[in-house]
Amino acid sequence: MADLNSLEDTYTLSNGVEIPIVGFGTWQTPDGEVAKQSVKTAIEAGYRHIDTAAAYGNEDSVGEGIKASGIKRDDLFLTTKLWNDDHGYDSTIKAMDHSLKELDVDYVDLYLIHWPNPVKFRDNWQEVNAETWRAMEDLLESGKTRAIGVSNFRGEHLNELMQTANVTPMVNQIFLNPSDLQPDVVDYNNEYNILSEAYSPLGTGKIFQVPELQEMAKRYNKSVAQLVLRWSLQLGFLPLPKSVHADRIKENTQLFDFEISDDDMKTIDGLHGVAGLATDPDTTDF
């Protein structure tokens, strides 16, 4: 587990690239001034890791927020993702170029395949993923990204990818919070030295209504969000909280002045299903 001292502490990916242990998520953050301001606010609050995706439709505003913060590009870790319609070798290369243009940067730090089995390629997803991954490996080689990985992949999708991959994915970004620990996927990730990134680490807000967490957070004199994000870190995950409110953005950075006891960690681990479960990537309609 990484040292849990500050937002600038890092995990080391399998290729040696360092990734800050908490990221700022931008899913469902509206394009335009809201996205720009929230990213700028997050960087000012100490975040050095920003996560977006082509599908979020806000890459241009995320790029503007980074510029407006005044931070040097090299001091920031930036992730974006390949959308479902763009799988396949040539489409992946084009999609990356489009994302770089939208973000107005020369490279990203991490590029992910967003979903393993889109409707468009459901009949032959294995072959299409192999071609997509070949493009990802070439993008890594070219320096347009410093690391590559996947999102929403389960064991069977990773197994298929490994048949032809020359480079093992460095990250698997999945729905991960006390409501769904996805132990099989996390075990697989751990076995292959793939970092588990936690999107929706606060269960898209539903986690705040859980009485056990409300009571426990009071005991630690912390918010439910702070408690759950700390839990995520203590398990060795990389949480990606999102917010558009300046006070919450700041609050979600204050995770390093307390530690959750083993007993309380176990209690949180036992909250399966309280705030929804991961979407099955093989039955999505997108």
Sign of the four-CA dihedral 266, 270, 272, 275: negative
- What pLDDT, on the 0 to 100 scale, is given for residue 236? 97
Q: What gap in Å lies between CA 133 and CA 112, rounded to an integer?
A: 10
Beta strands 10-12 and 110-113, pairing class:
unpaired
For 85, the token pair is 């319609």
Question: Which segments of the chain have a pLDDT < 70?
Answer: 1-2
Question: Which pLDDT score is estimated for 2?
Answer: 66
How far is it, in rounded angstroms, from Cα 230 to Cα 235? 9
Q: Which of 11, 47, 56, 107 is catalytic?
A: 56
- pLDDT tens for residues 11-32? 999 999 999 999 999 998 888 9
Paired strand residues for 12: 18
Q: Per-residue pLDDT tens for 95-130? A: 999 999 999 999 999 999 999 999 999 999 999 999
- For the stretch 50-71, pLDDT in tens is 999 999 999 999 999 999 999 9
Alpha helices by DSSP H, the chain: 33-44, 59-69, 89-103, 125-142, 155-164, 183-191, 211-220, 224-234, 246-251, 262-269
Pairing of strands 18-20, 10-12: antiparallel
Is 56 annotated in the active site?
Answer: yes
Half-sphere exposure of 12 (CA within 13 A, CB side): 4
Strand partners, 172: 150, 196
Chain-centroid distance, C-alpha 82: 13
Q: Helix (H, G, I), strand (E, B), or coil: what is residue 79?
A: strand
User: How many whole angstroms separate alpha carbon 177 and alpha carbon 183?
Assistant: 11
Whether 194 contacts 161, CB under 8 Å: no
φ, ψ of residue 251 in degrees (nearest 5): -55, -40
Which residues lie below 8 Å from residue 110, measured CB to CB, with a gap of 6+? 19, 77, 78, 79, 80, 145, 146, 147, 148, 149, 170, 171
Question: Cα–Cα distance between 213 and 103 in angstroms, integer?
Answer: 37
Q: How far is CA 122 from the centre of its chain?
A: 24
- Sorted by sequence, the CB contacts under 8 Å of residue 3 that are 6+ apart come out as 9
Q: Work out the burial of residue 6: count CB atoms within 10 Å of its CB; fewer than 13 is exposed, 13-18 middle, 19 or more buried.
A: middle
Q: Is 279 helix (H, G, I), strand (E, B) or coil?
A: coil
Cα distance between residue 75 and residue 213, in whole Å: 35
